[in-house]
Amino acid sequence: MGRAVGANVRRKDGDAKVTGAAKYIDDISFPGMIFGATIRSTIPHGEIAARHVKLPGGFVVADYHDIPGKNYVALIDPDQPCLAEHIVRHVAEPILLVGHADRPRLIGLEQQVSFEYLERAPIYDPEASDTCFKRISIDKGDLDRGFAEADVVFEGEYRTGHQEQLYIETNGVIAVPGDEQMTVYGSLQCPYYVHKALVVLLGLPPGRVRVVQTETGGGFGGKEEYPSMLACHAAILARKAGRPVKMIYDRVEDLLATTKRHPSIIRHRTGVTRGGRITAMDVEVVMDGGAYATLSAVVLSRGVIHASGPYRCDHIRIRGRAMLTHTPPNGAFRGFGAPQTQFGIEAHMDRLADEIGIDPVKLRELNALKPGDTTATGQTLGKDASALPVLREAVRRSGFREKRRKWRGTTRGIGLSLFFHGSGFTGGGEVKLASKASLELTARGARILVASTEIGQGTRTMHAQIVADALGVPFDDIDVHEVDTDFVPDSGPTVASRTCTIVGKLLERCARDMRKRLGRLSPADYFKKHGSFTVTSQYEPPPNLLWDDEGYKGDAYGSYAWGCNVVELEVDPATFEVRPINVTAVAEIGKAIHPMMAEGQIEGGTAQGLGYALIEEVVMRDGRMANAQLTNYIIPTPLDAAPMKVVMLERPYAYGPFGAKGVGEMPIDGPAPAVINALRHCGYDVRSIPATPERLMNAPRQKAEGKRQKAG
Amino acid sequence: MIAIINGKRRKLDVHPMKRLLDVLREDCGLTGTKEGCGEGECGACTVLVDGVAVDSCLVPAAQADGCAIVTIEGVARARSGRALQDAFVKLGGAQCGICTPGMIVAALPLKAGASLDEIKTALAGNLCRCTGYLSIFRSVQAGLRPSREALRPTRKTRVKGKRANAR
Ligand code: FES
Ligand code: FES
């Protein structure tokens, strides 16, 4: 039939969202519900010596003693307590929970609840830390040989700051207690992560815990792990109060306490021939994990795998480490380590081009990964490797070469970045997850049962398109079940650009199986005759996909999406303010199931990337975010929106649904290095982001690029 | 306070300093208006007060006394409102949707055929983290296109100058 895939069908969630009918967590109430608040540490590191709690009647108070199961947030390492017992490792660490029926009574409790501490010395510099959460090494070829082949060896250090996800809906949940059971409703990305955390915390059998996602006002990774913490808190209070408890963070608390993008330090030492062929890459990646392990190990993993960029090189060494500091834990944020490391390599590439006197496009063309080449982990790329096509398309569409020439020596600059992004969990992750998806026959068509959440990116619509076409029924005849762990199977988390390419593929298989069973009957006719049935499919890796987790070798991802950004900008020489004036974003994503929504992902992700590059700065003072308000943590506004040309290329991935790869994260990998390279074109040597006016003012100035050309 | 909310006269017994946002959400059950920051920075709480877009998180109930208020639940009463809503669905102006009510309400006072600059100015106080704004601009442009000249301005849609300085 093929009518829905590739068409801009009407979003399933659209009408509820534009009329105000969609119910987000704060729009929901339960009879007898009270409100909860969290009392947090005010120091970065130390021992809790005394607790002073003087609250009148009417308050429900809970601390770690009220946890019936285990006191940690179950994710990867069991190191992060749900409520601190004796030691606190960061400012805003949760210690005590307070509930009250009257919401305003929970404001300003500092007078009645306070702690005494024995302070310990905090560490803020990840390189000075003696606690390492995770170390990863990637080795390919023989580094010494690679450097021996080089004519020039060139080094550089690049730094990236924190970034806040800044979903416009803050974190929030409601816990509803029952008899030896608990239900949590909330704004979240990964219902089964929350489910697992609650089972461990409450010591209940899995069947007695239920998690329901409510309409979610943005996630970007920020609602990947933190909702587990918040759900645990609400559940503890609800259990103690015997009443439903609603906990919604205000913006300040959300900024102070929840996860952000890992700051990083990236160092490159690169061997290159005079002709521009890269012969050796030595890369060091340091990530600031914050106070607890959370997802740092996997963020680092994706980071190091992308650290050598979309380039071919036979001799590579990458060393990565994620370190403890006494700041709130850093965690998942769209891109998940790759934006940091690809900022490093892409800023380095332009400096390298400059060093050997070669055009930055040419340098990339010479080294870009092509079909049949191998990546840093030794993965041989298939026909859909698209670094060169996206590069050429972006250069052509943006008029890069001409503007590069014309603007030299002016306040305008143009820069580009080339990048890629692996779709799905890294390495053996998908095999371990063993995700499931189900499809149920209905009187009209079919109903999708997955744990993948709609967080704005269009999950429900895109999944329904895939099923409609694979089953051969109209799009409108496909329903999507609410994400409720009592009904939907564990399809894995809604992260890692996996919702379309992995879960979508499972649904495509379900639909094809269902079609077989229906024979020549329509779903309606079959339903009338035989009633409903459900088909389920479970993840199986594509054939020949091999990964060695010990040696960090093999097929890191089933597929990669490819991107190239060109940013044109203008610098105000008096205020050092930078205004992007035009952006070209080319993305090769296999197949755009819903072209308009895919474009929306690219536009939105690129805008977030421009914010990351230029204005979004988390100021940490004594381990505390000093600008924890929307007034001074600034994100792009409508007035900052630069015109953008989005071009999508499609080179189908053989094992993706209708050829689709992942699209959600990649757009944020490219803007920051393209901005920095455009600034370099204007003569500003900036090597860390955000490139705020202050940084720009203090940046070394260089003559227009090209002047330091050496004889090639 | 007495106010005309989405065309209906309501008498509400609330504290004069209660935020209009809470009055609407808690006392009127109109939860379509959202809170994103509570400090006048994000515009998720935008409503029209006597035709002017304001951040309802910064307006005390007393200040809205005697006014005509339009929330997202009331915008479909105007044909232009329905057109805007439809355009936001069709053109990808709504992704996660949390900013959408504020965006649509803030766009409502715009004239048909408003320029891109006028649209940007009208939405300047509304943040969206999902879209990068471009699809929102396209949605507003398309939503304003249907011949609104033919539409007699009603009390609720009459344009009263620019965005209020309540922020
Ligand atoms: S809630 Fe953000 S401006 Fe009112
Ligand atoms: S659509 Fe999500 S914040 Fe605008």
Rounded to 10 degrees, what is the CA torsion of A291, A297, A301, A302?
A: -60
pLDDT of res. B147: 54
**pLDDT band, very low/low/confident/very high, at B153 (cuts 50, 70, 90):** very low
Evaluate: CB of B134 within 6 angstroms of ligand 1.
Answer: no
Tokens of A344: 């490093």
Q: Where are the domains of chain A?
A: 14-22+429-538, 31-121+166-257, 133-163+260-426+554-710
Answer yes or no: do A641 and B137 touch at CB < 8 A.
Answer: yes
State the CATH architecture for B76-151: Orthogonal Bundle (1.10)
CA of B1, closest CA in chain A: separation in Å?
Answer: 21
With a cut of 50, say whether residue A166 has pLDDT above it: yes
Tokens of A384: 């859909």
Evaluate: CB of B106 within 6 angstroms of ligand 1.
Answer: no
User: What residues contact A72, with CB distance under 8 A and at least 6 apart?
Assistant: A78, A79, A80, A81, A82, A200, A201
Evaluate: CB of B23 within 6 angstroms of ligand 1.
Answer: no
Answer yes or no: do B133 and A636 touch at CB < 8 A.
Answer: yes
pLDDT of res. A409: 92
Q: How far apart are the first and last CA of chain A?
A: 57
E strand or H helix that includes residue A113: strand A113-119
Of A20, A599, A608, the CB nearest to B32: A20
Rounded Cα–Cα distance for residues A331 and A254 (Å): 14
Of A21, A630, A636, the CB nearest to B42: A630
Looking at ligand 2, which residue's alpha carbon is closest to its atom 2? B96
Rounded Cα–Cα distance for residues A356 and A273 (Å): 9
DSSP B36: S
Residue type at B16?
P
Cβ contacts of A597 on chain B, cutoff 8 Å: 92
Cβ contacts of A168 on chain B, cutoff 8 Å: 34, 36, 42, 44, 96, 98-99, 127-129
Average pLDDT value for residue range A306-312:
98
Rounded Cα–Cα distance for residues B167 and B164 (Å): 8
E strand or H helix that includes residue A98: strand A94-100
Q: What residue ranges line ligand 2, CB within 6 angstroms?
A: A 168, 218, 456; B 94-100, 128-131
DSSP letters spanning A333-392 = -TTTTHHHHHHHHHHHHHHHHHHHT--HHHHHHHHB--TT-B-TT-PBP-TT--HHHHHH
- The two domains A14-22+429-538 and A31-121+166-257 share their CATH topology (first three levels equal): yes
Of B39, B42, B92, the CB nearest to A600: B92
Contact A239, A178 (CB under 8 A): no
Cβ contacts of A604 on chain B, cutoff 8 Å: 95, 129-132
- The more confidently predicted of residues B148 and A440 is A440
With a cut of 50, say whether residue A109 has pLDDT above it: yes
Question: In A543-651, which ranges are continuous DSSP H helix?
Answer: 595-614
**pLDDT band, very low/low/confident/very high, at A708 (cuts 50, 70, 90):** very low
**pLDDT band, very low/low/confident/very high, at A703 (cuts 50, 70, 90):** low
With a cut of 70, say whether residue A712 has pLDDT above it: no
Phi/psi region, residue B141 (left: phi>0; alpha: psi -120 to 50; beta: rest), is: alpha
Looking at ligand 2, which residue's alpha carbon is closest to its atom 4? B128
Rounded Cα–Cα distance for residues A473 and A526 (Å): 13
CA of A322, closest CA in chain B: separation in Å?
Answer: 28
Answer yes or no: do A631 and B41 touch at CB < 8 A.
Answer: yes
Q: Please give the biggest Cα pair distance in chain B.
A: 42
pLDDT of res. A91: 98
Of A21, A170, A606, the CB nearest to B132: A606
Rounded Cα–Cα distance for residues B47 and B38 (Å): 14
Evaluate: CB of B38 within 6 angstroms of ligand 1.
Answer: yes
Tokens of A198: 């609650």
Average pLDDT value for residue range A391-407:
98
pLDDT digits (tens, 9 = 90+) for A49-58: 999 999 999 9
Indicate the pairing of strand A34-40 with strand A94-100.
antiparallel
Answer yes or no: do B133 and A638 touch at CB < 8 A.
Answer: yes
Strand order across the beta sheet in which A113-119 lies = A87-88, A46-53, A113-119
Q: Where are the domains of chain B?
A: 2-74, 76-151
Which ligand 1 atom sits closest to the C-alpha of B56?
4
pLDDT of res. B145: 84
Ligand nearest to the CA of B133: 2
Pick the CATH number of A133-163+260-426+554-710 from 3.30.365.10, 3.90.180.10, 3.40.50.12780, 3.30.450.20: 3.30.365.10
- CATH code: domain A31-121+166-257 is 3.30.365.10
| Entry field: residues in chain A | 712
Contact A550, A139 (CB under 8 A): no
pTM of the model: 0.96
Which ligand 1 atom sits closest to the C-alpha of B127?
2
pLDDT digits (tens, 9 = 90+) for A418-477: 999 999 999 999 999 999 999 999 999 999 999 999 999 999 999 999 999 999 999 999
Which ligand 1 atom sits closest to the C-alpha of B42?
2
pLDDT digits (tens, 9 = 90+) for A173-206: 999 999 999 999 999 999 999 999 999 999 999 9
Rounded Cα–Cα distance for residues A301 and A289 (Å): 13
* Distance (Å) from CA B4 to ligand 1 centroid: 22
DSSP letters spanning A410-424 = SSEEEEEEEEEEEES
Rounded Cα–Cα distance for residues A218 and A407 (Å): 38
Contact A262, A221 (CB under 8 A): no
ipTM of the complex: 0.97
**pLDDT band, very low/low/confident/very high, at B127 (cuts 50, 70, 90):** very high
**pLDDT band, very low/low/confident/very high, at B78 (cuts 50, 70, 90):** confident
Indicate the pairing of strand A34-40 with strand A60-62.
unpaired
Measured at the CA of A462, the angle between CA A184 and CA A186, to 5 degrees, comes to: 10
With a cut of 80, say whether residue A707 has pLDDT above it: no
pLDDT digits (tens, 9 = 90+) for A598-650: 999 999 999 999 999 999 999 999 999 999 999 999 999 999 999 999 999 99
Helix/strand/coil for A318 = strand
Rounded Cα–Cα distance for residues A255 and A258 (Å): 6
Question: Of the residues B46, B72, B85, B99, which should be mutated to test ligand 2's pocket, given the most ligand atoms within 8 Å of the CB?
Answer: B99
Give the mean pLDDT of chain A: 97
Which ligand 1 atom sits closest to the C-alpha of B34?
1
| Helices B79-90/B134-144 angle, 10° precision | 140
User: Minimal Cα distance from B103: which residue of A?
Assistant: A18
Contact A366, A276 (CB under 8 A): yes
Contact A685, A701 (CB under 8 A): yes
State the CATH architecture for B2-74: Roll (3.10)
Q: What separation in angstroms does the CA of A35 have from each of A83, A95, A235, A238?
A: 18, 17, 12, 10
Domain A14-22+429-538 has CATH 3.30.365.10: yes
User: Minimal Cα distance from A597: which residue of B?
Assistant: B92
